[in-house]
Structure 1
């Protein structure tokens, strides 16, 4: 009777079993202190065709498993710290080279020692040379995504995977007799063109889409996931493995999905709750436990390959980590991220089977390696991640998390637009905060939630991501400070009327208190006429330079650079410093389109400021004498937007 019922063929029944396994897997493994992925792979093996045969795995489960495979690589590209990768590219190259070469030599030699044919041994070597960062969800949970060892490991994932897949392509071409020069010229041209399209054209297209049609988060989520699928399909069409396309899609979208934002959480939730578990279950369904116990060839080959892969990956992590100066726990993270086998190994299994080079013993042995290394990756991450302190905010870029208190309906769009332009170069997020007193009435809370919603729409219209919050606190300045700390802020943008209400004040009582207690740089913004930016004007005086020791000038130059790049406009610097000295001070920070040097700086500003200009001024912190100067700059700007930079 059960034979007539199983395997399940109804799509709804298969989907129900899949979700039940996703639910049961962690419930079984967590009390045993085992990684969730071990339970998911084990349950997949039990319900698969080799044990109970509840699910055949030929339709829905395979489709979802393949999407999960793509998603793993896609999420790795999304979460890669690009700034850290650029800064530590040497570490990524070193680890990528070592973790490719050492396992390739060791695993291929081990397979040849067991009388595996040469091309099959090369394919097995390529399968176990690449790696999939299966332990990344654990590392992300401990907020270690920006740890230097993690950044180096994720960068090495790209290098090792691409190199391994190139070896696989060479081996498969050799098996099919495609060894001509024309084939490799076509393959190389396709690879170069594909890389250029993904890393140059796709980010521009995404920026245009997010600023136009993609101002709704559901639309953005659909765009990102469909982009992942299309990138995989295009990669397959030119002879590149789809998982490489998914990883490159993640890199292309990286700057548009800032950490800690709603869109990032939605992408991660969808993968963690469905796609990745489906992939792990489908992997388990490929495993034949009977063959593992009864077939001597499978047992021997599996044991040797596990030992060779684990030893070579541990050796690569240890050698590279010591050379690069990482701690023992960081080297453990490198091992946990590089020992796991999934994406590349499964791709090699499929190719080897299609070419007739890998039989059931080799396939079962590789699946065994995948399962054992998945367990080791999870155990290593659980052991080493809690021992590492998450990176602090020191040294983080100005635009990673731009906090904007919003309370005035007339200035919300202007403030959020400036904040979005500051955040965009760092793929950062705008955090719109509305602070209310403890005795706020319900109507006041509702109206301020409406203001927060307006701020969200304004930020999305600029192509930026945004988080909103209505906060109840004892004071406005205290609420702003708490928001900076809780939201991990890197910059504060505050609205200003352009005048002070008492003698000796910088900007006004509330803003002065926020400036005094803010742990991050402050941009005090007097919104002007709501119009497209035509030019950015930097105002610098010798008094401010002497007082601020260039800190304010450097920060103001960075702000001007961000505004000009985002608006694609020119910059003008007005100063009473000699032009040569000014250019020397700005060297490496800003290349102004034009420099005007006049003793009467404000008079020059008033005569040159025009429609669409944004004026940026330098003001050192706690300098009431120059507070009046900021007020005069706002007057001379004649209704244009003024941004006063206060460094920390």
Structure 2
């Protein structure tokens, strides 16, 4: 071959796998470095690198099966992450908007494309219809840009993703209809088969996938590699199932992301690992593969190719622009949000190639339309990426500027560690409770008692903490372990709170009380009595991010406590992050208050507020929670507004709850309040000191009666 050069390993086009892989990795590295310097998306660099390295450029690489394998994986990964990042709570509130945008971004480009092909390109009806279908579809090429700027929760992004699935599903179904045989009398039967098989596949993925992953995470807690491999297997299995149903594999991948959305949304470690592999290999390979298909020499082969390319590109971009702007007008979005919708929905790639190649193979379209489409892909990818990048930057800056005000003191979470095996669970809880935007580290603290073996114990504690934290490896969260020497554990924890100026304490549940603790008080009782910080005591025996429901039992007058807004914000943020349904059980209707706090943080979790007749009823109903439920009991310190006498015996009652019940005992930040100040209605004030003494008298009388009965039975 005249275009081949062979000098050992330096064979052009490259055939040695290690050489091919090295060249691709170098091109990915250079694209990231160069395009970040010139402030353009790396996506454009990947496509241009594919053009330069591919068979239509320098000919260094061939678009062979290995490139296509990783490229197909990249496309599936993009659709999987799109489903994974779609906040289901937000989607429930924006579902009708997604449907409207999906119909607009399908019908407007379809209509404009059909008219353009008939009048400007003078194509017949079937070729015009096929090409106009191509205008309606789009691929979320620019989605990694949105993800990088951290604005995936913006409503404009949510409706674009939802609309993408609607329009792509309609396009791919029409394509399957055409490919099955235009004019064939059995088309109605083909349609029926596709619809039925698609419903079955969707049901299997959406119902079975979450159950399978939850089962795996419960039984292999602490493992990292197995869940990661299992998730990637599930992505490709979903693609296979969709393919078997005569649907495009990207639909199966999106359904897989949607199915695992709630289970993975709070697990930042696993999400980080998934995104790292996908963004490093799969997506760049996919974009390089797109670049290799593009032939820049077509621009010099005559005015007809340029004319066709310009008409196709303008029709595609104008149709998508009108759909985006009409959506912005209907829902009163900002101009920047309208541009973001346009940028995300204007890029054409995989589905466009599928439509046009099928039409070319069937002889419906000619080589000029094919070549013009390849140029359209390059131009729309460049345009969409640039528009998305600029809009994302503006929205990111605006959202950063309008973050809710927080306390002047930095938020610092202290995690006392008694049992090193529970540290991962406590850190996961601390992370989902952390305020968005907080750069403060989480402080795990180990207390070493001052005795003859203090130095050995210090070294052992440091080693244990370091080993566990290295295995957790949460890249987005700073963790600063502390080891302190003190005369006892309680004193060390209290000193740690003062040193770090901690605003919240997250500690593990100690279980049954020892005899000495019954006499002198438990560690928890001492910490609660000697501190004022918000304190959470956790007995969670599974990953926190797989909970479906959070049930919060609140005592009367809880809304009057100093730390009310703070702890409610924490629970709301946690529910939003793990996408769990949140139910508050209170003595009065506080739903407007909870909703106001949620709006302050610009989050929209699924909220309920149940009114109980008395606290005991609320406790009994919540104590029978399911495995996927988290029971949060809001308690109070003594002599505070919301304190109830029953709280004295609460630790003992919690010890008798079923072993599989996961709960958090929460003590809000509280200071003693003066009664009768007019802040609280007199009718709502609980005379807790008197009630407490009466409760103690009851306990003493019961014990006396028991001892009397025992003596009489012996006699």
Same fold (TM over 0.5): yes
The correspondence for 1:87, drawn from 93, 110, 113, is 93
Distance 1:590 1:148 in 2: 25
Cα displacement (A) at 1:2: 5.3
Q: More displaced, 349-358 or 76-85? A: 349-358
Determine if the alignment matches structure 1 residue 619 to structure 2 residue 630. no
User: Deviation string for 1:134-193 (max 9, x for gaps)?
Assistant: 222222222211111111212212112112212222222343836433222211110110
Cα displacement (A) at 1:195: 0.9
Correspondence for 1:532? none
Say if 1:482 and 1:628 are closer, same or farther in 2 by CA, change over 3 A.
same
The correspondence for 2:479, drawn from 469, 474, 483, is 469
Q: Output aligned runs, 1:564-575, within 5 Å.
A: none
Distance 2:339 2:579 in 1: 41
The correspondence for 1:359, drawn from 366, 391, 400, is 366
Correspondence for 1:637? 653
Q: More displaced, 110-119 or 337-346? A: 110-119
Q: Output aligned runs, 1:315-464, within 5 Å.
A: 315-388=322-395, 389-390=398-399, 405-409=415-419, 412=422, 416=426, 419=429, 433-435=443-445, 444=458, 447=461, 450-451=464-465
Distance 1:514 1:370 in 2: 61
Check whether the contact 1:110–1:304 (CA below 8 A) recurs between aligned residues. yes
Correspondence for 2:304? 297
Distance 2:379 2:502 in 1: 45
User: Deviation string for 1:581-606 (max 9, x for gaps)?
Assistant: 99xx99x84779xx9969xx69x99x
Distance 2:540 2:78 in 1: 43
Distance 2:519 2:330 in 1: 59
Say if 1:450 and 1:70 are closer, same or farther in 2 by CA, change over 3 A.
same
The correspondence for 2:83, drawn from 69, 77, 88, is 77
Say if 1:591 and 1:477 are closer, same or farther in 2 by CA, change over 3 A.
same
Distance 1:26 1:415 in 2: 36
Distance 1:234 1:243 in 2: 11
The correspondence for 1:55, drawn from 55, 61, 70, is 61
User: Deviation string for 1:40-66 (max 9, x for gaps)?
Assistant: 222212222223322221221122222
User: Deviation string for 1:248-282 (max 9, x for gaps)?
Assistant: 11112222323671211111121222211111111
Aligned residues: 590
Check whether the contact 2:346–2:384 (CA below 8 A) recurs between aligned residues. yes
Cα displacement (A) at 1:413: 7.5
Distance 2:499 2:184 in 1: 69
Distance 1:537 1:105 in 2: 50
Correspondence for 2:677? none
Distance 2:93 2:498 in 1: 36
Check whether the contact 2:75–2:286 (CA below 8 A) recurs between aligned residues. yes
Correspondence for 1:533? none
Say if 1:177 and 1:296 are closer, same or farther in 2 by CA, change over 3 A.
farther
Correspondence for 1:183? 190
Check whether the contact 2:262–2:579 (CA below 8 A) recurs between aligned residues. no
Correspondence for 1:489? none
Q: CA RMSD in A?
A: 5.1
Distance 1:150 1:566 in 2: 18
User: Deviation string for 1:524-574 (max 9, x for gaps)?
Assistant: 45899xxxxxxx9997765x469569x79x979x99xx9xx999xxx9x9x
Distance 1:202 1:285 in 2: 35
SS in 1 for 2:179: helix
Indicate the structure (1 or 2) with the bigger Cα radius of gyration: 2
Correspondence for 2:4? 3
Correspondence for 2:20? 14
Say if 1:347 and 1:259 are closer, same or farther in 2 by CA, change over 3 A.
farther
SS in 1 for 2:444: strand
Check whether the contact 1:411–1:527 (CA below 8 A) recurs between aligned residues. no
Check whether the contact 2:415–2:443 (CA below 8 A) recurs between aligned residues. yes
Correspondence for 1:426? none
Distance 1:615 1:80 in 2: 26
Structure 1's unaligned 5+ residue stretches are 396-400, 424-430, 485-491, 529-535
Q: More displaced, 292-301 or 154-163? A: 292-301
SS in 1 for 2:372: helix
Determine if the alignment matches structure 1 residue 279 to structure 2 residue 272. no
Cα displacement (A) at 1:495: 4.2
Q: Output aligned runs, 1:169-208, within 5 Å.
A: 169-175=176-182, 177=184, 179-208=186-215
Check whether the contact 1:434–1:452 (CA below 8 A) recurs between aligned residues. no
Correspondence for 1:309? 316
Distance 1:88 1:481 in 2: 41
TM-score w.r.t. structure 2 length?
0.69
Check whether the contact 1:96–1:160 (CA below 8 A) recurs between aligned residues. yes
Check whether the contact 1:47–1:53 (CA below 8 A) recurs between aligned residues. yes
Determine if the alignment matches structure 1 residue 165 to structure 2 residue 172. yes
Distance 2:46 2:630 in 1: 56
Distance 1:246 1:638 in 2: 43
Check whether the contact 2:141–2:381 (CA below 8 A) recurs between aligned residues. yes
Cα displacement (A) at 1:94: 2.0
Cα displacement (A) at 1:620: 5.8
Say if 1:635 and 1:619 are closer, same or farther in 2 by CA, change over 3 A.
closer
